[in-house]
Structure 1
Amino acid sequence: MSTTDDVRTSKRLSYVLRHAPGSVGVTLDGSGWVAVPDLLAALAAAGDVVSRADLERVVATSDKQRFELDAARDRVRARQGHSVPVDLDLPVTTPPPVLFHGTHAGVVDAILADGLVRGQRHAVHLSADVRTATAVGARRGRPVVLRVDAAAMHADGHAFAVTGNGVWLTTAVPPRYLAVLPSP
């Protein structure tokens, strides 16, 4: 399978495992897991033939590490970004003092007025470094990086969790904890 095929498979898995498992006829359990054989059979029936080796390679080599296999390698799930209800069963964790959120210039005023909200997603996604936040923000135009005072949020009772690929999750970031970083 080529790199192009892996990207296509990763995008298809993102759609199915984060947003529309029913589009191929699978059901996620309460924590977002689906049995690998069930997923592969459902994808094949929908016209997307993905081998177990292809799936394992995409899980292992995806630059964003969006997916994970369970310890027995029998089930797969998306690590974050769900718009379908799931409980990722991640422990509440003390965040680093500062986290970052990458976005594009067109929404900064609204974010500064209303804060970061999860919208249709499971949680707000935050990065531990400016580089990652900048890359995330650049997906939709000129990137803007917001600094999140995670220490103050945590002290004020806001809960944080971190996924296996280092994405920090919280339910919302009120505006008082946000500041725009100067452009590089």
Structure 2
Amino acid sequence: MNDNERKSISKWLSLILRHSPETAGLALDTNGWVAVEELLRQSADKGHRFDRKMLEEVVVTNDKQRFAFSDDGLRIRASQGHSVSVDLQLEPCEPPEVLYHGTVPASLAAIIRDGLKAMSRQHVHLSTDRETADRVGSRRGKPTILVVRSGQMWRDGHRFYRSANGVWLADAVPPAYLEQR
């Protein structure tokens, strides 16, 4: 399978497993899972033809590890980034002292005023290093990197979660915990 095929399948999976399962005639369960066989069948019906082996290759090679199979391999879900309501069954856990968030300059004034909000997603996504935040923020232009004082937020009672692919999640980040460096 070439890079373009992998990218096309990955984008399709992001759409249906994170945002719009009904596009493929699917329904995610409470925890975001869908049966692999149903996903393959419904995707083919919508013109996105790939087999189990191709799906496994996309999951394994995805640089951000966006997708995961269930332990028995019969189901698949997105690791985070949902705009549809799912319970990923993540337990609150103590974050590193600082985390990072990449954004674009046009959003900066609102973020400084109101903090980071999940917007259309379930959580705010945070990175453990500046490089990842830079890469994420640069998808929409030249990024601005914000430092999140996550350790202090945790000590002040805010919850953090770590997704299966290592992305840190928070419900929101109030402006008092943000620095622009």
TM-score of the superposition, structure 1-length normalised? 0.97
Q: Percent identity over the alignment?
A: 49
Partner Cα distance (2:80, 2:165) in 1? 9
Q: Could you list the per-position Cα deviations for residues 147-174 of structure 1 after superposition, in whole angstroms to 9, with x for gaps in the alignment?
A: 0000111011110110121100010000
Residues 84-163 of structure 1 mapped to structure 2, 5 A cutoff = 84-163=84-163
Report the residue type matching 2:67 in the other structure. F
Q: Could you list the per-position Cα deviations for residues 71-115 of structure 1 after superposition, in whole angstroms to 9, with x for gaps in the alignment?
A: 111110000110000010011110000000011111111101010
Residue 180 of structure 1 aligns with which residue? 180
Partner Cα distance (1:177, 1:47) in 2? 46
Report the residue type matching 1:89 in the other structure. Q
Partner Cα distance (2:28, 2:64) in 1? 21
Residue 23 of structure 2 aligns with which residue? 23
Residue 81 of structure 1 aligns with which residue? 81
Report the residue type matching 1:160 in the other structure. F
Residue 3 of structure 1 aligns with which residue? 3
TM-score of the superposition, structure 2-length normalised? 0.99
Gaps of 5+ in 1: none
Report the residue type matching 2:133 in the other structure. A
Partner Cα distance (1:51, 1:3) in 2? 16
Offset, 1:64: 1.1
Partner Cα distance (2:121, 2:164) in 1? 18
User: The residue matched to 1:146 in structure 2 has which SS?
Assistant: strand
